[in-house]
Amino acid sequence: MTVTDERALAAPVEGERGEERELLPTASGKRTWAAVRELARPHRRTLMGGFAALVAATAVGLLTAPVLGHVIDLVAAGRPASALTAPAVWLVVIAVAQGAATAYGLGLVARAGEGMLAALRERFVERALRLPLERVERAGSGDLTSRVTNDVSVITSVVREAVPALARSLLTIGLTMVALAVLDWRFLLVALLAVPIQAHTVRWYARRAVPLYAAQRVAVGAQQQELLGSVGGAATVRALRLEDEHVGRVAARSRAAVDLMLRGARLSTRFYSRLNLAEFVGLSAVLVTGFLLVRGGSVSIGTASAAALYFHNLFTPINVALGLVDDAQSATAGLARLVGVADAAPAPSPVRDAPGQVGDGSVRVSGVGYSYRPGHPVLHDIDLHIADGEKVALVGASGAGKTTLARLIAGIHQPDRGHVAVGDGSGSRGDVALVTQEVHVFAGPLADDLRLARPDATDEELRDALARVGALEWALALPEGLDTVVGESGHRLTAAQAQQLALARLVLADPRVVVLDEATAEAGSAGARALEASAAAAVEGRTALVVAHRLTQAASADRIVVLDGGRIVEAGAHDELVRAGGRYARLWRAWSDGRDGGADG
């Protein structure tokens, strides 16, 4: 697929992300299993040891039934009560051995499983962070997020709960069948009568369960979204008197989810009912066989009892194993999505990961054109030279191409035509940092958040960076200062504080060239002023391109570039442009004069 073809599938326009999505890849079944084998390789010994211990535990456990059978035989043979002590002691020995081997085996399996999980998580995070931003955006940011949250948690719970349960159940089933055969091969043969019913039931169930559970997840997700919107936006709902409508919407979403949950309950109860049939068929076949074999004199009553008890003991492991079928299926699907991302990421590129100083910090944009959709260019023939240490403000209406130009300079997009060079024309974009209005506070201590930008920064350097952007005061006033846990489940920062944090990170990252895309926009008018001062301090001494909403921010730049319809229509210092009486002058007059710029411009 060519670059333009790929773009045609999804065309985000200046921050707008529409409905068209090109999801991140999913690995094939073959590739997924290869990845599992790869993950398992370092743990081969542990896995084999754990498996062997579980086999031993199960085998020992199966001795219980014949020993009980022996007790029955002793009783039936009229032996004295003292003869029962030895088998009873054996039962205790079996119990202890089985318990110990099970614990040991489960411990080893868990160690291997958790190790594999950790490796999978780490590899996924590493590769996901290496994906080009353009690719992630084409898929919609929710795609990657849902993989790292939903898929990882499904796989984790399956590895932790389902895999050990499944392993023990399957071993019990397998070895019980062996034991049945040891008692008398005819017991095994008739016990297998249950298998066709079970096989059919599982196929019948899987066919219905997979789409139903998928629909359930969608419905529960929709309910969650609706509640987040209605309950989270309660103030807005009340202000616009939309209470009844929103209660109705929540009711509809909740009802839909409830209906699907009840369908799920009906399906799973029918599943287990059918398995009851298999239990009955198998058990009565074993009893009838026992009857015939005892009458024929080929087995003892004790043996027949043991066979019946064996089969009765199979009920639970079979139900457990078959009930895990859909868990296993959803984990496999999740795994394929994680492996798909891990495989899609490019090999680490030296440019991205090792920002070197590339000569001076000048930026040269020559003859650059760009379009998200073929035939719909967003930028035309942009020529722009930003001198080392110069501050340039980009002004223009939405859709004028400001963000696109900023992203081209930051290296997120590659130009269709022309080229963007940073420094001495080497073309490396490794020393350009981009801060947008999208703020994210990383969960954990505030100091750790800052150290993402410079891992070896001293506390002193952290404080200096915060002080520079005017954030030190509030940061030190947090309950535990820089050690305060912030982010998702920690101390909540305001939008303005979060943005100051982003600027402090920028100071620590210390790039030669900075692109600020509306980095002060989300704060509301009270915070915007303070943020503009922070931003100005953060870019001090660097080459800077600032996409500015507030004209006051543009006015303080060395040069202002006005974009319209993807072209540069005006450029110059604030005073020059005001004197020139063009577009920018009209805007500025409307601000500073209180008169409609259009009327006298």
Identify residues 19-38 at the interface with another protein (CB under 8 A).
Answer: 19-20
Q: Point out which span in 172-180, 196-204, 357-365, 428-436 binds another protein (CB under 8 A).
A: 428-436
Q: Point out which span in 1-9, 37-45, 318-326, 447-455 binds another protein (CB under 8 A).
A: 447-455
CA angle, residues 571, 576, 577, in degrees to nearest 5: 55
**Binding-residue total with another protein (CB under 8 A):** 187
CB of 214 or CB of 251, closer to another protein: 251
Name the residue with tokens 């027949």: 304
Beta carbons within 10 angstroms of residue 114's beta carbon: 14
Distance CA 393, CA 546 (A): 5
Three-class secondary structure of residue 392 per DSSP: strand
Distance CA 289, CA 53 (A): 33
CB 136 within 8 A of CB 144: yes
CB of 222 or CB of 467, closer to another protein: 222
**Torsion, CA 500, CA 502, CA 504, CA 506, rounded to 10:** -140
For residue 531, state whether it binds another protein (rule: CB under 8 A).
no
CB of 316 to another protein, least distance (A): 9
CB 468 within 8 A of CB 548: no
Q: Among 28, 269, 298, 414, which residue interacts with another protein (rule: CB under 8 A)?
A: 269
Q: Among 182, 240, 476, 573, which residue interacts with another protein (rule: CB under 8 A)?
A: 240
Q: Point out which span in 178-186, 204-212, 218-226, 568-576 binds another protein (CB under 8 A).
A: 218-226
Q: Which of residues 466-505 bind another protein (CB under 8 A)?
A: 487-489, 492, 502, 505
For residue 13, state whether it binds another protein (rule: CB under 8 A).
yes
Q: Which of residues 304-343 bind another protein (CB under 8 A)?
A: 304-305, 308-309, 312
For residue 80, state whether it binds another protein (rule: CB under 8 A).
yes
Distance CA 454, CA 470 (A): 19
CB of 28 or CB of 145, closer to another protein: 145
Name the residue with tokens 């993807």: 566
Binding characters for another protein, 339-368, by CB under 8 A (x = yes)? -------------xx-x-------------
DSSP string over 392-430: EEEE--TTSSHHHHHHHHHTSS--SEEEEEETTTT---T
CB of 333 or CB of 457, closer to another protein: 457
Distance CA 338, CA 307 (A): 45
Distance CA 419, CA 417 (A): 7
Q: Which of residues 32-71 bind another protein (CB under 8 A)?
A: 61, 64, 68, 71
Whole-number Cα distances in Å, 45 to 41, 102, 217: 9, 17, 38
Distance CA 206, CA 194 (A): 18
Binding characters for another protein, 140-169, by CB under 8 A (x = yes)? xxx-xx--xx--xx--x---x---------
CB of 288 to another protein, least distance (A): 7
Q: Among 229, 470, 481, 565, which residue interacts with another protein (rule: CB under 8 A)?
A: 229
Q: Which of residues 162-201 bind another protein (CB under 8 A)?
A: none
Q: Which of residues 92-121 bind another protein (CB under 8 A)?
A: 92, 94-96, 98-107, 110-111, 114-115, 117-118, 121
CB of 39 or CB of 71, closer to another protein: 71
Write the CB contacts of 484 (distance below 8 Å, at least 6 apart in sequence): 445, 446, 478, 490, 491
For residue 280, state whether it binds another protein (rule: CB under 8 A).
yes
Instruction: Name the burial class of residue 90, with classes exposed (0-12), middle (13-18) and buried (19+) by CB atoms within 10 angstroms of its CB.
Output: middle
List the alpha helices (DSSP H) in 324-361.
Answer: 325-344, 350-353
Name the residue with tokens 């020529």: 383
Q: Point out which span in 170-178, 199-207, 230-238, 470-478 binds another protein (CB under 8 A).
A: 230-238
